[in-house]
């Protein structure tokens, strides 16, 4: 978003509303906010997620707590005076194992084979900081039951969906062809995509960032 566009407010946002900053490089989170009609700035924060996850697992910290820590850390790395800075993170677990984003086709295939026929959880946290202080956070844990798809389907799916799914911790994009992978889903759709939208909009209304 260029500087001129950032000065324009959407009708839902009063002219004196605090600025909104998304501390995430996720295209999906960015689209969720944009589709909701919000004007915001994107400032992706660099965080060594892998080392934090490894330390959390070694110390017995839950995936719920770890997702929240990562969300807050991302938001804390972005300082825009007076702005509401949104941080978010998501951790996928299945039968006690934690999953990271796959790096290539082989890892994406391994992820999906490990999840096939099982139910996994997406531990999804969102937080908001203002002037470096946490003023709100929210957590959801939707569950997704993956079907027993064939190896033939899997290879077709990888042909069609790579490289886009390498940005997803589960090697799928539910909003696209990833829907073919599942039998049952429990939880809010936006939380599955990585940003619980309705609770976030409620928070923004409470803090006069958008019209009540």
**Which distant-in-sequence residues (6+ apart) come within 8 Å of 195 by Cβ?**
26, 28, 29, 32, 33, 88, 124, 126
Residue 74: per-residue pLDDT: 96
Catalytic site positions = 89
Mean pLDDT (10-residue bins), the chain, 212 residues: 48 86 94 94 89 93 96 95 96 96 97 98 98 96 98 98 94 95 97 97 94 86
Q: Please, which residues bridge with residue 94 across strands? A: 97
Residue 11: per-residue pLDDT: 79
- Would you state the CATH architecture of domain 3-206? Alpha-Beta Complex (3.90)
What number of other Cβ atoms are within 10 A of residue 79's Cβ? 13
Residue 8: per-residue pLDDT: 54
pTM above 0.75, yes or no: yes
Residue 50: per-residue pLDDT: 87
Rounded to an integer, what distance in angstroms lies between the CA atom of residue 18 and that of residue 21? Answer: 10
Rounded to an integer, what distance in angstroms lies between the CA atom of residue 33 and that of residue 23? Answer: 12
Q: Given phi > 0 = left and psi -120 to 50 = alpha, else beta, which region is 123?
A: beta
Picking from 140, 195, 193, 139, the residue whose alpha carbon sits closest to that of residue 168 is 193
Residue 3: per-residue pLDDT: 39
Indicate the helix (H) or strand (E) that contains 128: strand 119-130
């Amino acid at each position: 978003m260029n500087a001129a566009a950032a000065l324009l407010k959407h009708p839902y946002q009063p002219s004196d509303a605090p600025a909104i900053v998304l501390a995430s490089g996720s295209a999906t989170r960015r689209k969720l906010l944009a589709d909701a009609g919000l004007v915001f700035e994107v400032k992706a924060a660099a965080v060594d997620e892998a080392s934090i996850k490894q330390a959390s697992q070694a110390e017995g910290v839950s995936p719920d707590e770890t997702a929240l820590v990562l969300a807050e850390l991302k938001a804390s790395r972005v300082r825009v005076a007076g702005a509401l800075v949104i941080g978010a993170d998501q951790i996928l677990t299945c039968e006690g194992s934690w999953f990271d984003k796959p790096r290539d086709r082989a890892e994406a295939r391994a992820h999906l084979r490990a999840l096939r026929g099982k139910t996994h959880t997406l531990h999804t946290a969102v937080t908001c900081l203002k002037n470096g202080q946490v003023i709100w956070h929210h957590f959801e844990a939707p569950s997704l039951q993956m079907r027993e798809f064939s190896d033939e389907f899997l290879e077709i799916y990888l042909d069609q969906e790579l490289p886009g799914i390498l940005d997803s911790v589960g090697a799928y994009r539910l909003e696209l062809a990833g829907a073919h992978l599942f039998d049952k889903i429990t939880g809010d759709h936006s939380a599955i995509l990585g940003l619980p939208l309705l609770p976030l909009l409620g928070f923004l209304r409470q803090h006069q960032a958008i019209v009540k």
